[in-house]
Amino acid sequence: MFSIGELSKRTGVKIPTIRYYEHIGLMDAPERSEGNQRRYTKQGLKCLSFIRHSRELGFSLDDIKGLLELNQQPGSPCKNAHLIAIRHLTEVRVRLTKLRRLERELKRISACRADSIESCAVIETLADHSLCETDH
Amino acid sequence: MFSIGELSKRTGVKIPTIRYYEHIGLMDAPERSEGNQRRYTKQGLKCLSFIRHSRELGFSLDDIKGLLELNQQPGSPCKNAHLIAIRHLTEVRVRLTKLRRLERELKRISACRADSIESCAVIETLADHSLCETDH
DNA sequence: ATAATCCCTCTAGTAGCTATAGGTTCAAGG
DNA sequence: CCTTGAACCTATAGCTACTAGAGGGATTAT
């Protein structure tokens, strides 16, 4: 049996965040001590680790809810899990592409060597889209 | 003189968002018509375009506030604008690195060909960090 | 017994919007 | 001039995923 503080230490998830996950129904409410404090079992630890790890991989809480449910139906096909993962992968790739373009643009405008605002490439570029190298 | 709707069309920024920018002090409150409707000048259009473009490049509203202020002090050195841009570039690079790792990991786990939850790599990996290829 | 540390609930705040409700104004057509 | 429909107004609440604080009770070690 772990207290919420122990669970927090073991998973690296902050205490208010754990309570928040319970509040929104992502984690089951655990048993309580006589004095009304949360007492978690290994099950709770596993669940929270799963959530934490999924968050690190950037899954939304909604996606995680879906994955947790799939996980709790033994024998179910894992096609849905794949759908969620692949959709997420697609999103990540879109973001990657955007960020790469962004990096190029920022690198370019940061390289300006003017010393007053009137001729600063940073400001000029932000004010006028047509000075950009690429669309966005 | 533009109405808020026209401004919205010209910049691609939604109407409630424009009002929101005014509300938080990012844009100056424009003059009003007799019937209390907002009437913008070219100045307002320029300002909103600047904001929009900066947002597309991922600057926070706080950063944009700073950049706009710099822009309004002619003759000021543009060092600060560069600081903001370079700090942002650094953040973008950090995010890029993380996203690249993420993409590799997602690609790997999505490639699983099992057909039931028990042996699905997506679920297994999420449940057990030690199965990951890299740290995160 | 007491002090230190932990835990409880509840509310409000963060970023950057978006949506809704309920009402007013504008511009064009008859 | 009058009507109608689109566009506008304010104010409030909601979204994601938390985080921080207030004001109080529980647990644990000495």
pLDDT at residue A31, as a whole number: 96
3-state SS class at B59: coil
- Can you tell me which residue has the tokens 């370079």? B86
Does the pLDDT of residue A115 top 80, yes or no?
no
What is the DSSP code string of B83-121? HHHHHHHHHHHHHHHHHHHHHHHHHHHHT----SGGG-H
Which pair of tokens denotes residue B102? 């993420």
Q: What is the mean pLDDT of chain B?
A: 88
The per-residue pLDDT for B134 is 56
* Coil vs helix vs strand at A122: helix
Q: For the stretch A64-87, what's the b/e string if a residue is b when 16 or more beta carbons lie within 10 angstroms of its beta carbon?
A: bebbbebbeeeebebebbbebbbe
Torsion sign over Cα A83, A89, A92, A93: negative
B positions 19-48 inside 8 Å of A (CB):
46
Give chain A positions within 8 Å (CB) of B128: 49, 53
The DSSP annotation for B1-15 comes to -B-HHHHHHHHT--H
**Closest of B7, B13, B96, B71 to residue A125, by C-alpha:** B71
For chain B, the structural domain boundaries read 4-59, 80-131
pLDDT, one tens digit per residue, over B91-132 is 899 888 888 988 998 888 888 877 778 778 888 888 876 665
Q: Is the pLDDT of residue A90 over 70?
A: yes
Looking at the complex, does the CB of residue B88 fall below 8 Å from at least one CB of chain A? Answer: yes
**Residue owning tokens 């902050």:** A14
Q: Which fold has domain A4-60?
A: Multidrug-efflux Transporter Regulator; Chain: A; Domain 2 (1.10.1660)
For chain A, the average pLDDT equals 88
C1' of D8 to CA of B17 (Å): 15
Write down the pLDDT at residue B30: 97
Please count the other Cβ atoms lying within 10 Å of the Cβ belonging to residue B61: 15
State the DSSP string of A22-84: HHTTSSPPPEE-TTS-EEB-HHHHHHHHHHHHHHHTT--HHHHHHHHHHHTSTT--THHHHHH
* Cβ contact, residue pair A77, B105, below 8 Å: no
pLDDT at A110: 85
Instruction: Tell me, yes or no, if A70 comes closer than 8 A to chain B by beta carbon.
Output: yes
Rounded Cα distance between B32 and B36, Å, is 5
Q: What pLDDT, on a 0 to 100 scale, did the predictor assign at position B27?
A: 96
The CATH number fitting domain B4-59, selected from 3.90.226.10, 3.30.870.10, 1.10.1660.10, 3.40.50.1820: 1.10.1660.10
Are A107 and B127 inside 8 Å of each other by CB? Answer: no
Bridge partner residues of B39 (DSSP): B31
Give me the interface pTM, i.e. the ipTM: 0.79
Distance CA B108, CA B125 (A): 10
Report helix, strand or coil for B131. Answer: helix
Residues of B in contact with A50 (CB under 8 A): 126-127
